[in-house]
Amino acid sequence: MLSLAAHSLCVRATGYQQSLHSIATVISGNKTSKIVRERLKKEVEKMASQFSGFRPGLVVLQVGDRDDSNLYISTKLKAAAEVGIEAKHIRLPNTTTQDEVLHSIMSVNENACVHGLIVQLPLDSANCIDTELVTNTVSSQKDVDGLSCINAGKLSRGDLNDCFIPCTPNACMELIRQTGVFVAGKHAVVIGRSKIVGAPMHDLLLWNHATVTTCHSKTPDLPEQVGRADILVVGAGRAEMVRGEWVKEGAVVIDCGINHVPDETRPSGKRVVGDVHYSSASQRAGYITPVPGGVGPMTVAMLMENTVQSAQRFLLKLRR
Amino acid sequence: MLSLAAHSLCVRATGYQQSLHSIATVISGNKTSKIVRERLKKEVEKMASQFSGFRPGLVVLQVGDRDDSNLYISTKLKAAAEVGIEAKHIRLPNTTTQDEVLHSIMSVNENACVHGLIVQLPLDSANCIDTELVTNTVSSQKDVDGLSCINAGKLSRGDLNDCFIPCTPNACMELIRQTGVFVAGKHAVVIGRSKIVGAPMHDLLLWNHATVTTCHSKTPDLPEQVGRADILVVGAGRAEMVRGEWVKEGAVVIDCGINHVPDETRPSGKRVVGDVHYSSASQRAGYITPVPGGVGPMTVAMLMENTVQSAQRFLLKLRR
């Protein structure tokens, strides 16, 4: 029996242009991240049994007390506990100086029980703190967010096996892999060039051998650029900016956006939407990620993946 | 009076499609690099007069004795002498071990009289030497070739004022600027993704606000991709692979290729050509760089530019 997805692809293959009834296959970040977390849990158990109780260590360093940061951090700590990672939350008050933040990072850098260190951004501080300096003070060996210059340089120049890949682009690649669509030789379009999403996403697609176009706020012909994408990754930070009619028939559409829009039907008065207009895009795309439940949960899973990988590298060095 | 270039552009503007008689304006790297060298000479003289005979210092480290390396190095040393840079050529025999090379680099890193250090690649050694390790041992403060992870990371993430930009892409940008064509908002296509040319070229165009597509050996529809480029930079390493008929009318075409092809009419039996088929491309492009005399001489000038910039940063730190 043909699945709905396969049926939808068949409809496209017969040249049915006005495919109002075709519905893209939904790429579930919830389901995929669960599989990843289960795999990681087994790997952590294996490490613990091979190396007398050894567990990967993760530190989440927070400055201040932003509500959104608190929420993200609690999600990360929960995922870490589930996988078996020993996670520690260091909270510094918003009166902390830059020197104190750097000192705290260096102290974690030197702690051999910690294999991953992330600094929750944005920093919520009453003092002037150089975020770039903070990010680059994290040891590149423990930089499981992949945001330091050294890791960015390695990724951008194609040394993928010798760096930490930022979690959101890594999540996107994993979701693309789930579709079974080969990346090599495809035309990929990335909207956005941020350090956390767009720029490393370009690198990752490029070194997986796609032809990659990066679009941004200065791109004058965004609909035409999007229309050429076999694979589209959107990290623009603008609610539902990519319209369904721009999307190429059968494309893989990955939406990294998390935007709150007013919605009177909800008790909270708002709802979360992505950067892609989902209902229209899903009429044309072959595969699409939902928001919420797409890239978000996979990003957290990729942080766990990087932490476990870092611990494995640490053990490998010990054995040499 | 209209220049030939302006006339050519006017012809295009009237919609003349089969413009067999339109000839692109040649962007001369010889002329532009001479202007850059003259400007740098004045800057170096100014530094010398302000700081009692101070001169920027450059070290070119060579392992082995490749003919092509010898030629490139002598060109660099000549340009340095012309500008007033104190350049030193360190030659290590091809029997040098990796440790000896690293030791030599670290010794130059510590020498306060040296502001720029380049390791001539490829290394010509009888021993197994990790080129990546060698490149990354050069202090990022003296890495005037811009090839270390740290400098690549900064460039790839848009921190252009805090890094050294690799000389060939920097040369290409300078030649593009010479045309007066604005980069922001244009569609740029880069062919190639090498660490020295393609990858940093993408970054530089992107952070100058072009929409950038990177093509490479796995791109299946190269002629179509090239046909969309307002600005085309080719660093593919294949003689005359880009055909004139692919080029968009009026485009800026920058050719980084240096290829030797047989030519019985020359005493040497060969001649140098670029990666672009020049005679056909110059019939469609608005601006084009020749090979030789285009990107090559500008690349050397940009090495001098980076060295002078490094010396200026050094002086700035001293004054703080």
pLDDT averaged over chain A? 93
Q: What percent of chain A has pLDDT over 70?
A: 93
pLDDT in tens, B160-175: 999 999 999 999 999 9
Contact flag A213-B211 (C-beta cutoff 8 Å): yes
pLDDT in tens, B201-216: 999 999 999 999 999 9
pLDDT of residue B8: 35
Q: Is the pLDDT of residue A64 over 50?
A: yes
pLDDT in tens, A168-225: 999 999 999 999 999 999 999 999 999 999 999 999 999 999 999 999 999 999 999 9
Which tokens belong to B84? Answer: 């007033």
pLDDT in tens, B4-55: 333 332 233 233 333 454 699 999 999 999 999 999 999 999 999 999 999 9
Three-state SS across chain B? CCCHHHHHHHHHHCCCCCCCCCCCEECCHHHHHHHHHHHHHHHHHHHHHHCCCCCCEEEEEEECCCHHHHHHHHHHHHHHHHHCCEEEEEEECCCCCHHHHHHHHHHHHCCCCCCEEEECCCCCCCCCCCHHHHHHHCCCCCCCCCCCHHHHHHHHCCCHHHCCCCHHHHHHHHHHHHHCCCCCCCEEEEECCCCCCHHHHHHHHHHCCCEEEEECCCCCCHHHHHHCCCEEEECCCCCCCECHHHCCCCCEEEECCCEEEECCCCCCCEEEECCECHHHHCCCCCEECCCCCCHHHHHHHHHHHHHHHHHHHHHHHHHC
φ and ψ at residue B27, rounded to 5 degrees: -95, 110
Contact flag B153-A151 (C-beta cutoff 8 Å): yes
Q: Which residue of A has its CA nearest to B186?
A: A219
Contact flag A153-B156 (C-beta cutoff 8 Å): yes
How big, in percent rounded to 5, are the helix, strand and coil portions of chain A?
45, 15, 40
> Strand B211-215 to strand B116-119: parallel, antiparallel, or no bridges (unpaired)?
unpaired
Q: Is the dihedral of CA B126, B128, B131, B137 positive or negative?
A: negative
Q: Which residue of A has its CA nearest to B216?
A: A211
> Strand A211-215 to strand B211-215: parallel, antiparallel, or no bridges (unpaired)?
antiparallel
pLDDT in tens, B126-145: 999 999 999 999 999 999 99
Residues in chain B: 320
Contact flag A150-B151 (C-beta cutoff 8 Å): no
Contact flag A211-B199 (C-beta cutoff 8 Å): no
pLDDT of residue A320: 78
B185 → closest Cβ in A184, A202, A220: A220
A211 → closest Cβ in B195, B209, B225: B225
Contact flag A212-B213 (C-beta cutoff 8 Å): yes
Q: How far apart are CA B16 and CA B157, in angstroms?
A: 41
Q: Which residue of B has its CA nearest to A189?
A: B213
Q: Which residues of B are less than 8 Å from A209 in CB distance?
A: 216, 218
Query: How many Å lie between the alpha carbon of B181 and the closest alpha carbon of chain A?
Result: 16
Sketch out chain B's domains with CATH numbers.
4-28+166-296 (3.40.50.720), 55-154 (3.40.50.10860)
Query: How many Å lie between the alpha carbon of A271 and the closest alpha carbon of chain B?
Result: 32
Query: How many Å lie between the alpha carbon of A44 and the closest alpha carbon of chain B?
Result: 31
List the single best residue of A135, A137, A156, A231 to mutate versus B (max B Cβ within 10 A).
Answer: A156
Q: Which residue of B has its CA nearest to A151?
A: B153
B149 → closest Cβ in A150, A209, A215: A150
pLDDT of residue A319: 81
Active-site hit among A31, A41, A46, A76: A76
Question: Residues 182-241, chain A: which have Cβ within 8 Å of B?
Answer: 184-185, 187, 193, 195, 199, 202-203, 206, 209-216, 218-221, 225
Residue A125 amino acid letter: S
pLDDT in tens, A280-318: 999 999 999 999 999 999 999 999 999 999 999 999 998
pLDDT of residue B209: 98
Residue A9's pLDDT band, with cuts at 50, 70 and 90, is very low
A76 carries an active-site annotation: yes
B219 → closest Cβ in A148, A199, A211: A211
Contact flag A185-B220 (C-beta cutoff 8 Å): yes
pLDDT of residue A22: 62
pLDDT of residue B22: 62
Instruction: Please indicate if any CB of chain B lies within 8 Å of the CB of A151.
Output: yes
Residue B320's pLDDT band, with cuts at 50, 70 and 90, is confident
pLDDT in tens, A133-148: 999 999 999 999 999 9
